[in-house]
Amino acid sequence: MHFGGVKAVDGLSIDLTEGSIFGVLGPNGSGKSTLLAALTRFVDLTAGSLHLDGEEYHRIPAATFARRGVARTFQTVRLLPGLTVEENVRLGADRIRGRGIRERGKGDDDVAEAIGRTGLRGLERHRPGELSYGAQRRVEIARAIVAKPRLLLLDEPTAGMNQSERQEISALLRELREEGLTQVLVEHDVQMMVDTCDHLFAMNFGKLIADGVPASVVREPAVREAYLGKRWSEHV
């Protein structure tokens, strides 16, 4: 993906297998969010292609792609301030095509389940402005998982959360993996990435610099250098 003369992501080729959590690691400006935006069709590819179940989708609109079971959260919290927590989550459930009057009851169950799983019970009638930043993040996650997507892309979902909240979100993501949900996780918390992900991609300056099992990727010299700088990476 190029923005004018800037190559945001270049020469990247990744395969996501079903039912796994893939982590994307890299310093600020390494192209992680652009990669998520491209995967969800929010930016067009300058070159290359995207495939889902063997079918090319790099030309279909983002909304159409989302209706095929792809959900995402954003780097900065994006909730609708005029709606309550429950209504924000329900917006995610609305995406399910063909859900008519007969299935509305099921929609209510899904919303209650997503709210419960993200620890938001009791806050259903609050509006986003009345919540802490961490709680707002959890509303985003609840909104993303409520429609039971096939692919979930999370852009720094634990930003603004404390350690125990991060651990709980990590546990939730692993639980969703056990249920077969494929996930792509962008995070700066290296320990969380190692604990949560099955596979890690490390990026810098828009290029893939390492990929593989999390524990070994974070030990790669190129990854340490990207995060700590060359001088410091030699000392650790």
Partner 1 sequence: MIAWYDTNIILIQSTFVGLLMALSLQVPIRFGVFSFAGIGCYGIGAYVAAIMTIRYEWPAAAAIGAGMLIAGVVGYLLALTVRRLGGLYLGMATIAFDLIVGVLAVNGGDLTGGPSGLFGALADVTTLHLVLISAVVIGLLAYSERGAIGRRVEAVREDPELAASMGIDVRRHRQAAFVISALLGACAGGLNVLLRTTIAPTDIGFSLVVLALTMIIVGGSRSWAGALIGAMIFTWLPGFLEFSGQWQKVIYGVIVALAAIWVPGGLLGMMTDAYRSWQRSRRDAGSGDGDRTPLGSRAEGTPA
121 binds partner 1 (CB under 8 A): yes
Please identify, using beta-carbon distances, which residue of 48 and 116 lies nearer to partner 1: 116
Rounded least distance, CB 80 to partner 1, Å? 5
DSSP state of 153: E
Distances, alpha carbon 13 to alpha carbons 106, 152, 183, 211, in Å? 38, 19, 17, 11
Residue selected from 48, 82, 180, 212 as contacting partner 1 according to rule CB under 8 A: 82
Q: Could you tell me how many residues of this chain bind partner 1 (CB under 8 A)?
A: 44
Provide the H-helix boundaries in 50-103. 62-66, 85-93
Which helix (H) or strand (E) element contains residue 9?
none
Residue selected from 61, 180, 212, 229 as contacting partner 1 according to rule CB under 8 A: 61
Rounded least distance, CB 229 to partner 1, Å? 34
Chain position carrying tokens 């709210």: 115
Rounded least distance, CB 110 to partner 1, Å? 13
Cα 230 to Cα 221: distance, rounded to the nearest angstrom: 9
175 binds partner 1 (CB under 8 A): no
163 binds partner 1 (CB under 8 A): no
Q: Is the dihedral of CA 140, 145, 149, 154 positive or negative?
A: positive
Asked whether 220 and 58 are in contact (CB, 8 A), the reply is no
Residue selected from 138, 148, 177, 224 as contacting partner 1 according to rule CB under 8 A: 138
With CA atoms as reference, report the closest residue to 19 among 149, 167, 183, 135: 183
Distances, alpha carbon 116 to alpha carbons 8, 69, 105, 156, in Å? 38, 21, 17, 21
Rounded least distance, CB 62 to partner 1, Å? 4
Segment near partner 1 (CB under 8 A), from 9-17, 93-101, 189-197, 211-219? 93-101
Please identify, using beta-carbon distances, which residue of 181 and 202 lies nearer to partner 1: 181
Please identify, using beta-carbon distances, which residue of 182 and 204 lies nearer to partner 1: 182
Chain position carrying tokens 């892309």: 153
100 binds partner 1 (CB under 8 A): no
Residue selected from 17, 122, 179, 235 as contacting partner 1 according to rule CB under 8 A: 122
Q: Is the dihedral of CA 112, 89, 44, 58 positive or negative?
A: positive
Chain positions contacting partner 1, by CB under 8 A: 40, 42, 61-64, 66-67, 71-72, 74, 78, 80-83, 87, 90-92, 94-95, 97, 116, 118-123, 125, 127, 129-136, 138, 143, 165, 168
